[in-house]
Amino acid sequence: MKDKYSELLLHKYEDKMKFGSAVKLNVNDYKPNDILDIVHELNYLLLNEEKSGSLPRMNFLKSNEDNAPKIADLDRRLLTGILGGDTSVTLSYFIEDDGDIFIEPANDDQIEIVYKKSYTIDSYTIESIADILIEAECDDISRVSIRPASRRNRQLPLLRVLDFITEYHGKNYCLYKGKWASFNESYMEFIEREILKVNEYVTYDENYNLLDSVVEKGREIQAASPHTYDQVTYTEYPYNIFLENEYQYKLLDRKSLHRTFKSVEFADLYSQDNDELIHVKIGNTPELRYCIQQSLHSADILNIHRDIL
What would the pLDDT profile of 241-273 be if each residue is shown by its tens digit? 999 999 999 998 887 655 555 556 678 999 989
Domain with 286 in it = 203-304
Same structural domain, 239 and 287: yes
Residue 92 included in any domain: yes
Instruction: Identify the pLDDT of residue 105.
Output: 53
Contact 130, 85 (CB under 8 A): yes
Q: Is 182 exposed, middle or buried (0-12, 13-18, 19+ CB in 10 A)?
A: middle
Question: Does 309 fall in a domain?
Answer: no
Give the pTM: 0.55
Q: What per-residue confidence (pLDDT) applies to 1?
A: 55
Q: Distance between CA 290 and CA 296 in Å, rounded?
A: 10
Do 126 and 177 sit in the same domain of this protein? yes
Looking at the fold, whether 70 and 179 belong to one and the same domain comes out as yes
- According to the model, what pLDDT value does residue 48 have? 81
Stretches where the chain sits below pLDDT 50 are 106-107
Angstrom distance (rounded) from CA 223 to CA 229: 8
